A and B are shown apart, each in its own frame.
Chain A
Amino acid sequence: MLFETSENYVRKLVADGLRIDRRGFEDFREIKVETGVAPKAEGSARVTIGNTQVLAGVKMSLGDPYPDTPNEGVLIVNTELVPIASPTFEPGPPDENAIEISRVVDRGIRESKCIELEGLGVGEKVWIINVDIHVLDHDGNLIDASALGAISALLDAKIPKYDENEEKILYGEPDRPLPVRDIPVAVTSGKISGKMLLDTTLEEESALDARLTVTTNKNGEIVAMQKGGSGFFTFEEVERAVELSVEKGKEIRKILGGIRD
């Protein structure tokens, strides 16, 4: 209801080839990535895209592997749309929007095989990698911000030491960096008034017909895709979204290049 009037405004503006903040349709807002923001986490990152702010933390513990992959670590991604981020977010278990974000982020990380899960066994147990995404300020494009937060926190993560005699994880005493070999980047194309826009703001999303998230790896291959929203894309638009994602993914990957240095 809040954006009922701006919805029409956004549609009209976009139809005329314009955006409220005067960006080009294919421009991102400024992206900032800061790692190591949660010292008690094994890895963490704060990502801002314009006013959208996401905090991601990696916590590791030892647990049981999946039966079919006995020596591989386990990845679990969870997203919380905490009530401070938006008047429309309510306390309680994750709703369908939070779950969709988690699963889209998870898919990008898992399918790109960016984490070398194979070497993460400790005796009978394996490392469980929990990536928790906390959305702190919602000004649109939560999927891209969350995916960026997750991979940044993973790049920042160090496996803690494990005392085999005491059977105890020595939190706060890093052993080695978490083996990460690729950087998946999610880029979402939003469709408004029949036009494709990157990095939509919350106000723009009030007029969003559909979105297509394409996650690419460093080779420029597609690793995951998700269409959302009740609108549709033509086949041509789908192909354009893929091109845009490959292109923007490269640029964004450069921002993350420094985390491991």
Chain B
Amino acid sequence: MKAGAPERLIVDGKRLDGRALDEMREIEARIGIFKRADGSAMFRFGNTHAVAAVYGPRELHPKFIRDPKKALIRCRYNMAPFSSYERIRPGVSRRSVEISKILKEALSQVVVLEEFPKATIDVFVEILQADASTRCAALNAAVLALADAGIPMTDLISSCAVGKVDGEIVLDVAGVEDNYGEVDMPIAVTPRDGKVVLLQIDGILTVEEFRKALQLAKKGCQKVYEVQKSALLEKYSEEDVNAVRDE
């Protein structure tokens, strides 16, 4: 453990921020937050705040990278310089390139790319505040922005992280846990089909602990899904829907 670590991160079954081991931080999600983009959304886990914008499907340049059979998803994950205590140097980093890649791959699993041959769907995610699980928040926001843009998808994607802190498997690592925790395991699943579309682990887990972590993650993703669902349905109130019915 690094210098400056608190002696214990779990006291009497509670974490330092008062949460139970299987408790998530407060979650918030909204769609249609930007005017210019074709679709947009925000997603927040406590102090981790991601916003996403989608442009497209639109024409892809240069021509030679077009796929005549399906659309391409391009994804940019970026952390705002002021999102973290230590300033994030603007521009691409190895970390941001890798995260952008895995987000793009996860999204490609649900978007019906075949409907838009040759075109591109551009997904931009900015992390405005970072307190662990930024890639999960990014993915949760991105999939909502895609839905807001009217892009066809076979399912949503819900993502959260499980970690190991003080030898215990906990849901949604945050704050000091992120700095001194032993394991971080971000995961993303399609809520209807239970497909695992993103999975990473940093840190040591026994096979038994891993199985436990997987079960806890399932539960967490389900919670995220409920919030995403409400965010999508809330944009159009009952009254609005009735208005459309009168058309």
Chain A residues within CB distance 8 Å of chain B: 68-69, 94, 96, 99-100, 102-103, 107, 111-112, 212, 217, 220-235, 237-239, 242-243, 246
Find the residue from A94, A102, A112, A227 having the highest chain B CB count within 10 A.
A227
User: Please, could you name 16 A-B residue pairs with CB atoms under 8 Å apart, sorted by A?
Assistant: A68-B3, A69-B2, A99-B98, A99-B101, A100-B98, A103-B95, A111-B201, A221-B205, A222-B204, A226-B102, A226-B199, A227-B197, A228-B101, A232-B109, A235-B218, A239-B211
A-facing mask of B83-117, CB < 8 A → 1, else 0?
A: 00000000000110110111011101100000000
Residues of A within 8 A of B100 (CB): 96
Give chain B interface residues in 100-144, CB to chain A under 8 Å: 100-102, 104-106, 108-109
Residues of B within 8 A of A212 (CB): 199
Give chain B interface residues in 176-228, CB to chain A under 8 Å: 185, 190, 194-207, 210-211, 214, 218
Contact B3–A103 (Cβ < 8 Å): no
- Of A69, A112, A225, A233, which contacts B195 at CB under 8 A? A233
Alpha-carbon separation in the docked complex, A239 to B217 (Å) = 14
Residues of B within 8 A of A100 (CB): 97-98, 101-102
Find the residue from B105, B108, B207, B218 having the highest chain A CB count within 10 A.
B207
Contact B205–A102 (Cβ < 8 Å): no
Chain B residues within CB distance 8 Å of chain A: 2-4, 94-95, 97-98, 100-102, 104-106, 108-109, 185, 190, 194-207, 210-211, 214, 218
- Of B94, B102, B218, which contacts A227 at CB under 8 A? B102
- Of A68, A222, A227, A231, which contacts B2 at CB under 8 A? A68
Instruction: Known A103-B95, A230-B105, A246-B207; judge A238-B196 contact (CB<8 A).
Output: yes
Contact A224–B201 (Cβ < 8 Å): yes
Residues of A within 8 A of B200 (CB): 224-227
CB nearest to A220 among chain B residues: B207
The 4 closest A-B pairs by CB, nearest first: A232-B195, A225-B201, A230-B108, A227-B199
Alpha-carbon separation in the docked complex, A246 to B204 (Å) = 13
CB nearest to B203 among chain A residues: A111
Residues of B within 8 A of A99 (CB): 94, 97-98, 101
Contact A231–B109 (Cβ < 8 Å): yes
Contact B201–A222 (Cβ < 8 Å): yes
Contact B204–A112 (Cβ < 8 Å): yes
Alpha-carbon separation in the docked complex, A212 to B105 (Å) = 13
Residues of B within 8 A of A112 (CB): 204
Contact A96–B101 (Cβ < 8 Å): yes
Residues of A within 8 A of B105 (CB): 228-230
Assuming A223-B201, A227-B198, A234-B196, what are 10 further A-B pairs, CB within 8 angstroms? A68-B2, A99-B97, A221-B206, A221-B207, A222-B201, A226-B102, A231-B109, A232-B196, A239-B211, A243-B207
